[in-house]
Amino acid sequence: MTSVTHILQAMERGEGQAAEHLLPLVYDELRRFAAHKMASENPGQTLQPTALVHEAWLKLVGQQDRHWRNRNHFFAAAAEAMRQILTDNARRKLRLRHGGGQQRVDLEECAEAVKSKDEHVLAVDEALEKLARLDPPRAEVVKLRYFVGLTIPEIAEVMGISEPTAKRYWSFARAWLDEEIRSQRA
């Protein structure tokens, strides 16, 4: 077992100092996940990778029923927390009192209409929630790949499955989500 796994077990036993020891061990990897995801966000995004990590951390350690089996399970939970934060942020920005999704555009760029990434994030989230009800393992692959940016080998390790299985899950989930999102727009 890794140090992370030992600390997670200590946290589950209620040892108060355990969370303080966990953050330095996982921070760099969480920061890398967040930076990868934030690189694909709209320019001018107000949420920065460091803030995403901090919000995800607060969400994770603030949970009452935090039972992480091991390091991999913890990072899967972190991926889910980041997904929820990004989805909530997209919803907040699309509310009418926040401009209803309007974006500042230079006059030279007005000729070309651009679809909002926030709307795309919400569409993916809605479809992903449906997939999670129908097929949780494939939905987990999407969360780890799309919202955290893990590679197929990293996903296989986190989920405890083979790389070919992770590839099949990703291929199936991508096709299913694409069809679901298209049907939402129709």
Give, for all 186 residues of the chain, the pLDDT tens digit.
458 888 888 877 777 777 788 888 888 888 888 887 777 766 666 778 888 888 988 888 777 666 777 788 888 888 888 888 888 887 777 775 545 545 554 433 433 333 456 677 788 888 889 999 999 999 999 888 877 778 899 899 888 999 999 999 999 998 888 888 888 776
| Alpha-carbon torsion (150, 154, 158, 160), positive or negative | positive
**How many whole angstroms separate alpha carbon 185 and alpha carbon 114?**
16
Q: Where are the alpha helices (DSSP H) in the chain?
A: 3-12, 18-38, 49-61, 71-94, 117-134, 136-142, 152-159, 163-185
User: Which domain, by its residues, includes 38?
Assistant: 3-185
CA distances from 47 to 29, 52, 96, 124 (A): 18, 7, 19, 19
pTM: 0.57
Contact between 37 and 121 (Cβ < 8 Å): no
pLDDT of residue 114: 38
Total domains, the chain: 1
Give the Cα separation of 150 and 32 in Å (integer). 10
Radius of gyration (Cα) for the chain, nearest Å?
18
pLDDT at 102: 52
85, 147, 123, 129 alpha-carbon torsion, rounded to 10°: -80
